[in-house]
A and B are shown apart, each in its own frame.
Chain A
Amino acid sequence: MDFQLLLSSYASVFTNLQVVLMTLLGAFGGILLGAIPGMTATMGVALLVPFSFGMDLIPAVGLLLGIYCGGMYGGSISAILIHTPGTPSAAATLIDGYPMTQKGQGGYALSVAMFSSFCGGIIGALIMTFASPVIARAAMNFNSGEMFMLAVFGLSVIIAISGRSVVKGLISGFLGMTLCTVGLDPTNGLPRFITRSQTGLYEGFAFIPALIGMFAVAEVIAGVERIVRGTERHAVSHEKITRVLPDGGTIGRIWPNILSGALIGTFVGAIPGAGGDIAVFVSYGANKSFSRQPEKWGTGIPNGVAATESANNGCSGGAMIPLLALGVPGDAVTAVLLGAFIMKGIQPGPMMYVSELPTVYGVFAALMLANLAMLLVGCAGVRFFAKIVSVEKTVLYPIILVVSLLGAFSINKNVFDLGVCVGFGVFGWLMNKYEFPLSPILLTLILGPMCEQNFVRYMNLNHGDFTRIFHSPIAMTFLGLAVLSILYSIWNQGRINRLQAAEAERA
């Protein structure tokens, strides 16, 4: 590792006013969106990707990472104050966070959440800085067959993000893989599912408009439906925030939870597909098991908030490891980030550590800065963010709609992309309505082309003999990991379904 270059990259990122401003703006937007129930970090990043279009890479990455880190923390605000997690990653924070609010300690819980998020994020970013170059070096010698198996391993996480039906997740995944074959065949340039006159689809569906459609437009349509039907929840918080950061005594009590949460979060985040929503429960469970007073967990103690919040922000660093080192996104947000990198002409993966090392170090520094920005914006605006949880959806949804559509247009300045965005919005609404998960489609839209290109290259190099791939230990390792990941996810989903059924029976 080139420490001199690393330090100079940190210095240039931290002293670049544009990067600092964009990261602060991103953190503000991220916390704002994260705090509003139903607005996820994925949606925030998708909405703001077009805003980064005219910027240089590092300010753009700063903006997006700011949203990512801010969104992770922002989710805890509504979880703590109104018992509604703003993002799935904050789902475990309400176990102890909301009881603290009920005891009149909402402000205290928010300060613990913010401090833990910051520490978790910094620890995750440090681990990413030192671990990803090692992984990238190992990945440098992968051939096309091994890259194909790596993509298959990345795709195996579809099961983990499938929700309660694995079969539906797989249907979504295969559908997404088919959708990314629309356009010209990457090897011979032959049209697939299009005619020669459909020039707008030559390069397939534009990723960002499709993404905005599935995650923003679809949510607005669903929101309209819920509001009209009267099922949209509107909770209001009257909590007064008096404290911004926890005192020394509290930090002394919660630091073991922060440390273990951050390590668990980073580790879980580094596994493709296992994002913050899984990490928080793993961290909560582990910290509770090792606690001297496990009976107090769930009654409103700061340790519970610290364990979960440090884990979900630790995830941000962890999820960046496979993204940067292997070019495989760790979760839905990093899948969007991968799209943003590609839009900027940079292909994350091992070769990035050779050809774009200063950029890689710039990204490391930007993640560190994003966590710092989250702390600063969080401290300065916690009272404001506490109010935003009660924002009227009748105002919010129309605003999201016009901002999303503008974002979809601005990428290629093409009205056809607007149509793609609305089309994917309707498609996403339908898929969501009938519980066909959208995250597998997002993942396949990213990994599909990588999978196909390496498959074709491998087959052509090996004269059509696919069985030779079984002689490569690296390819077999990825295949083994993919099989393990699938089996574990199926078992885990079955367990979750059984637990939910048992709970329903008890209720």
Chain B
Amino acid sequence: MKDKMKTVAFSNLIASLVFLGAGAWAYSQTLSFRTVKGSYVQAATFPQIMLLGMMGFAGVLLVQSAWKLTRFGFKANDWAYEKAASLNFVKDRGVLFALVTMVLCAAFVAWFRTLGYVLASFLLCFAVMVLIGKRNLVQMLLISALVPLCMWLLFYLLLKVNIPMGPLTFVRDFVDDIL
């Protein structure tokens, strides 16, 4: 049983339960949508049909996966018995670092207005390079600084899109003065 729990079939079983749960919750939300008298299709109708479709196929996946996990449903060389991807960030450093990257991205969003694009991107770019094992400090600093700066210049000068600069607003004034 322990090995079966590491298969794609088992991960599909868990995923189908997640989709069923999420679908049921979302469906319960649609019941509180307001209605309009005289309208043949209410605001809730379309999402309800879609949610029923999603839950229906999640149910099919659940039955399919459960069947494949029994000894009657076993078929050699079926891809459902391949090793499933893991989310165990304690045992798998890859997952842990992927999660750290997500946290870094979330921090980027949170600090975007305060730090501005160039500074926030410098930190994000540098941090991701450190995470994935780049160790050439000069290259890391140059890439982290120049790529966001060039992108900002491209958007500001060519595409006329004003991107927040945070404490580096003086760079914008400097560019304006030059031009």
Q: Which of A's residues lie within 8 Å of B, judged by CB?
A: 51, 53-55, 164-165, 167-168, 170-171, 174-175, 177-178, 181, 185, 187-188, 190-193, 217, 220-229, 231, 392-395, 397-399, 401-403, 405-406, 409-410, 413, 415, 418-419, 422, 425-426, 429, 433-436, 452, 455-456, 459-460, 463-464, 497, 500-502, 504-505
Residues of B within 8 Å of A452, CB to CB, are: 46
Residues of B within 8 Å of A224, CB to CB, are: 94, 97-98, 101, 128, 131-132
Residues of A within 8 Å of B94, CB to CB, are: 224-226, 228-229, 231
Partner of B147, one of A175, A177, A402, A455: A402
**Bound state CA distance, A436 and B61, in angstroms?**
12
Residues of B within 8 Å of A188, CB to CB, are: 36, 39, 43
Partner of A229, one of B87, B92, B126: B92
Interface centre among A229, A406, A433, A436 (most CB of B within 10 A): A406
Q: Is the pair B117, A409 in contact by a Cβ cutoff of 8 Å?
A: yes
Residues of A within 8 Å of B12, CB to CB, are: 165, 168, 434
Partner of B40, one of A217, A426, A463: A463
Tell me the smallest distance from the CB of A174 to a CB of chain B, in Å: 4
Q: Is B7 on the interface with A (CB-CB < 8 A)?
A: no
Partner of A403, one of B128, B151, B161: B151
A-B residue pairs, 10 tightest by C-beta: A229-B94, A174-B54, A464-B40, A185-B43, A54-B159, A225-B94, A174-B53, A402-B121, A181-B47, A225-B98
**Bound state CA distance, A398 and B108, in angstroms?**
13
Q: Is the pair A394, B98 in contact by a Cβ cutoff of 8 Å?
A: no
List B residues 1-46 near A (Cβ within 8 Å): 8, 11-12, 15, 19, 26, 29-30, 33-34, 36, 39-41, 43-44, 46
Q: Is the pair A415, B79 in contact by a Cβ cutoff of 8 Å?
A: no
List B residues 131-152 near A (Cβ within 8 Å): 131-134, 139, 143-144, 147-148, 151-152
Residues of A within 8 Å of B102, CB to CB, are: 221, 422, 425-426, 429
Residues of A within 8 Å of B126, CB to CB, are: 398
Residues of A within 8 Å of B129, CB to CB, are: 394-395, 398
Q: List 12 A-B contacts (CB under 8 A).
A: A55-B159, A165-B12, A178-B26, A191-B33, A217-B105, A223-B132, A397-B132, A406-B151, A406-B155, A415-B112, A425-B105, A426-B102
**Bound state CA distance, A228 and B134, in angstroms?**
11
**Bound state CA distance, A223 and B105, in angstroms?**
15
Tell me the smallest distance from the CB of B15 to a CB of chain A, in Å: 6
If the complex has contacts A410-B161, A422-B106, A504-B77, are A171 and B93 also in contact, measured as CB distance less than 8 A? no
Residues of B within 8 Å of A217, CB to CB, are: 105
Q: Is the pair A405, B121 in contact by a Cβ cutoff of 8 Å?
A: yes
Taking A51-B159, A398-B126 as known contacts, 5 extra A-B pairs with beta carbons closer than 8 A to each other, sorted by chain A number, are A167-B57, A227-B132, A228-B96, A395-B134, A422-B109
Closest A residue, CB atoms, query B56: A174
Q: Is the pair A190, B61 in contact by a Cβ cutoff of 8 Å?
A: no
Partner of B161, one of A53, A181, A231: A53
Residues of B within 8 Å of A226, CB to CB, are: 94
Interface centre among B50, B64, B147 (most CB of A within 10 A): B50
Closest B residue, CB atoms, query A399: B147
Q: Is B78 on the interface with A (CB-CB < 8 A)?
A: yes
Closest A residue, CB atoms, query B19: A171
Tell me the smallest distance from the CB of B155 to a CB of chain A, in Å: 6
Q: Is the pair A505, B33 in contact by a Cβ cutoff of 8 Å?
A: no
Tell me the smallest distance from the CB of A194 to a CB of chain B, in Å: 10
Tell me the smallest distance from the CB of A220 to a CB of chain B, in Å: 7
Q: Is the pair B54, A167 in contact by a Cβ cutoff of 8 Å?
A: no
Q: Is the pair B79, A500 in contact by a Cβ cutoff of 8 Å?
A: yes
Tell me the smallest distance from the CB of A196 to a CB of chain B, in Å: 11
Q: Is the pair A167, B98 in contact by a Cβ cutoff of 8 Å?
A: no
Partner of B132, one of A394, A419, A429, A501: A394
Closest A residue, CB atoms, query B78: A501
Q: Is B69 on the interface with A (CB-CB < 8 A)?
A: no
Residues of B within 8 Å of A222, CB to CB, are: 98
Q: Is the pair A167, B92 in contact by a Cβ cutoff of 8 Å?
A: no
Residues of B within 8 Å of A392, CB to CB, are: 134
Q: Is B165 on the interface with A (CB-CB < 8 A)?
A: no
Q: Is B90 on the interface with A (CB-CB < 8 A)?
A: no
Closest B residue, CB atoms, query A224: B101
Residues of A within 8 Å of B96, CB to CB, are: 228
**Bound state CA distance, A213 and B139, in angstroms?**
27
**Bound state CA distance, A403 and B117, in angstroms?**
10
**Bound state CA distance, A160 and B160, in angstroms?**
41
Closest B residue, CB atoms, query A456: B41
Q: Is B60 on the interface with A (CB-CB < 8 A)?
A: yes
Closest A residue, CB atoms, query B11: A434
Q: Is the pair B47, A178 in contact by a Cβ cutoff of 8 Å?
A: yes
**Bound state CA distance, A125 and B15, in angstroms?**
43
Tell me the smallest distance from the CB of A453 to a CB of chain B, in Å: 10
Closest A residue, CB atoms, query B85: A433
Closest B residue, CB atoms, query A178: B50
Partner of A409, one of B34, B154, B163: B163
**Bound state CA distance, A22 and B102, in angstroms?**
33
Closest B residue, CB atoms, query A217: B105
List B residues 56-102 near A (Cβ within 8 Å): 57-58, 60-61, 64, 76-79, 84-85, 87, 92-98, 101-102
Tell me the smallest distance from the CB of A69 to a CB of chain B, in Å: 22
Tell me the smallest distance from the CB of B107 to a CB of chain A, in Å: 10
Tell me the smallest distance from the CB of B117 to a CB of chain A, in Å: 6
Residues of A within 8 Å of B64, CB to CB, are: 167
Q: Is the pair B160, A54 in contact by a Cβ cutoff of 8 Å?
A: yes
Q: Is the pair B105, A402 in contact by a Cβ cutoff of 8 Å?
A: no
Partner of A192, one of B33, B84, B151, B163: B33
Closest A residue, CB atoms, query B58: A171
Residues of A within 8 Å of B61, CB to CB, are: 165, 167-168, 171
Residues of A within 8 Å of B154, CB to CB, are: 51
Q: Is the pair B57, A170 in contact by a Cβ cutoff of 8 Å?
A: yes
Tell me the smallest distance from the CB of B44 to a CB of chain A, in Å: 7
Residues of B within 8 Å of A415, CB to CB, are: 109, 112-113
Q: Is the pair A501, B77 in contact by a Cβ cutoff of 8 Å?
A: yes
List B residues 151-176 near A (Cβ within 8 Å): 151-152, 154-155, 158-163
